[in-house]
Amino acid sequence: MYIANCRIRGREGLWNVACENGKFDRIRPADGIIPEGATDAKERLLMPPFVEPHIHLDCVMTAGIPHYNMSGTLFEGISTWHEYKTTQPLLIPEIKDRARQALRLMAEHGVQFVRTHVDVTETSFQSAKALLELRDELKGILELQLVAFPQNGILSTVGGKDLMIRAMDMGFDCVGGIPHFEFCREYGVESLDFIFALAEKYDAMVDVHCDEMDDEQSRYLEVLATKAWERSLGPRTVAAHTCAMGSYNNAYTTKLFRALLESKINFNSCPTESVHLQGRAENYPKRRGVTRIRELTEAGMNVALGQDSIADPWYPIGVGDLLRVLEMGIHIEHLMGYKDLSKCLDFISQNGAKNLCIEDVYGIEEGKPANFILLDGKDDYDVVRFHSAVVLSVHNGEILSQKTPATAVVHNI
C-alpha cells in the first residue's frame, strides 16, 4: 500500500507513505510526482486512528426495546434496561450481533481501538462470554479491550467480589469499579482497595466509573488517585466520567489536583452522555455535569473523550462518530480558542491511546504497525469544522473501511 501526497498530523509539508507486511515501511517527503501504483491522497490529513476509550458494547442498539426511555433520565434508563433483560434474555449470538453493528459504525468513523465495559454483575455471564469471543475473533482487524464492570457495585452485590474474580480469570484486560454507587462510603473505599489488589494480581489495567453524579460530596477520585499513587499504577489507571468534579468548589479542587498530578492517572470524559444524563436533579440554573476537561488538560493531565453509549436505554442516539463527541466536549468546556482547536483531535486519538496503554502500536513511524486513517480535511481545525469524513481506515496494513465523501450541488447563489 502506498499513499502519496498526504499531510501527516504534527508534521510540516506533504508526504509519501509506503506500507509493507502490515507496517509503515517508508515515510518520505513528497516531491510532487505520484509514484506508480500509489494512491493520490490529494493533500488530505493522514493520522493515527481514532480511539474509543469508553463504551458499553453489551447494551448498544437496544434503544426502543421493549420501549424507549420517555424521560431520558438515568433512572428510567436503568429500569428500561432491566425490562430489556427480562423480556429479551441476553444470549451470546444476539449480544455479538449488536456489538458488531456498533463496531461497524465505529470502523466507518475511523475508530480502530475500543475499550468496552462489560457488566459482570449480570450473573448469566452471557455478555462477558460474547465479548470475549468477539475480542478474539476481531484481533488484528480491530482491537478490543474488556473491562470487568460491576454495574451494581462490588460490595453492594451478593458475591460481587467473586464475580469480578471470575471475569479476570476469563481473561478480561481491565478491572472496573463504581465506588460512588456502592451502598456507603466505606464500601466505596473498600471496593477501590479490592480493585487495585485485583489489578496487581492479574497484571491488569484499572478503569473505574468514578463520581459519575452531580453530588459535590462524591469524592472517590481522591481515593482512586491515592491508591494508584501508593502502588505506582497511575499510568495504567483511568478515572472515567468524574462528573462531580464539575461541581467541586475551587478550593477543594486545587488541593485535589496535587494528588491527581502526583498519581499520574488518566481521565476519560463522555460529554454527550454526561450533558444528557447529569443536571437532572435541578431546575435553573442548570449545571453541565461534565468534568473539568480544560483544567485537567492545562495542568498537564491526560483526558480522552468517549461515547459511553450508542442507542441504548441511557442514550438514544449516536452513530459511532467520535467527531460528534469531540464537538460537544469543546463546546461545553470552552475549548474553541484557536490554539485549542488546532490540537483538538488529541482528545479522540493519542490521549485515548495513552488511556489504553497501546502507544507501542500507535503512531505514524517507520517500523510501527500500519494503523492510520485518512481524513477529508487538512488539519484539526478543518476536520472539526467541516466534520470531515474518514475516507480510508487501515489497520495492520489492511483496509478496514473506505468512504466517498458526499458532494452537494447548490443552485442560484
CB of 52 to Zn ion, least distance (A): 12
Question: Active site residue: 182, 212, 273, 333, which one?
Answer: 212
Residue nearest to Zn ion (CB): 308
How many angstroms separate the Cα of 35 from the Cα of each of 21, 30, 234, 370?
19, 10, 46, 19
Indicate the residue among 240 and 335 with the shorter CB distance to Zn ion. 240
Bridge partners (DSSP) listed for residue 259: none
Bridge partners (DSSP) listed for residue 308: 55
- Chain position carrying cell 484557536: 338
CB of 66 to Zn ion, least distance (A): 23
CB of 56 to Zn ion, least distance (A): 6
Indicate the residue among 312 and 380 with the shorter CB distance to Zn ion. 312
Indicate the residue among 270 and 364 with the shorter CB distance to Zn ion. 270
CB of 125 to Zn ion, least distance (A): 19
Instruction: Dump strand ranges (E) for 78-164.
Output: 111-119, 143-149
CB 214 within 8 A of CB 289: yes
CB 52 within 8 A of CB 34: no
C-alpha cell belonging to residue 72: 431520558
CB of 261 to Zn ion, least distance (A): 25
Q: Kindly state the number of chain residues that form the binding site for Zn ion, as judged by CB under 5 A.
A: 1
For the segment 40-69, give every residue that binds Zn ion (CB under 5 A).
none
For the segment 307-346, give every residue that binds Zn ion (CB under 5 A).
308
Indicate the residue among 241 and 292 with the shorter CB distance to Zn ion. 241
CB 152 within 8 A of CB 78: no
Our answer to whether residue 212 is catalytic in this structure is yes
Q: Is omega for the bond preceding 66 within 30 degrees of 0, making it cis?
A: yes
Indicate the residue among 1 and 175 with the shorter CB distance to Zn ion. 175
Residues in the chain: 413
CB of 174 to Zn ion, least distance (A): 13
Q: How many CB atoms lie within 10 A of CB 150?
A: 30
Contacts of 199 (CB under 8 A, 6+ apart): 174, 175, 205, 206, 233, 236
The DSSP bridge pattern shows strands 303-305 and 372-375 to be unpaired
DSSP 316-348: ----S-HHHHHHHHHHHTT--SHHHHTTGGGGG
Euclidean distance between CA atoms 99 and 60, whole angstroms? 7
| Type and span of the H or E element at 235 | none
CB of 308 to Zn ion, least distance (A): 5
Indicate the residue among 48 and 150 with the shorter CB distance to Zn ion. 150
The single-letter DSSP state of residue 247 is T
CB of 326 to Zn ion, least distance (A): 18
Q: Classify 305 in phi/psi space as left (phi over 0), alpha (psi -120 to 50) or beta.
A: beta
The single-letter DSSP state of residue 180 is G
Which of these segments, 118-126, 304-312, 352-360, 397-405, binds Zn ion (CB under 5 A)?
304-312
The DSSP bridge pattern shows strands 303-305 and 2-8 to be unpaired
Indicate the residue among 192 and 400 with the shorter CB distance to Zn ion. 192
Q: For the purposes of burial, counting CB atoms within 10 Å of the CB of 280, is it exposed (0-12), middle (13-18) or buried (19 or more)?
A: middle
Which of these segments, 135-143, 156-164, 276-284, 302-310, binds Zn ion (CB under 5 A)?
302-310
For the segment 124-183, give every residue that binds Zn ion (CB under 5 A).
none
Compose the 279-298 pattern: x for residues touching Zn ion by CB under 5 A, - for all others: --------------------
Indicate the residue among 52 and 308 with the shorter CB distance to Zn ion. 308
Euclidean distance between CA atoms 131 and 142, whole angstroms? 13
Supply the residues annotated as catalytic.
Answer: 212
Give the footprint of Zn ion on this chain (CB under 5 A): 308
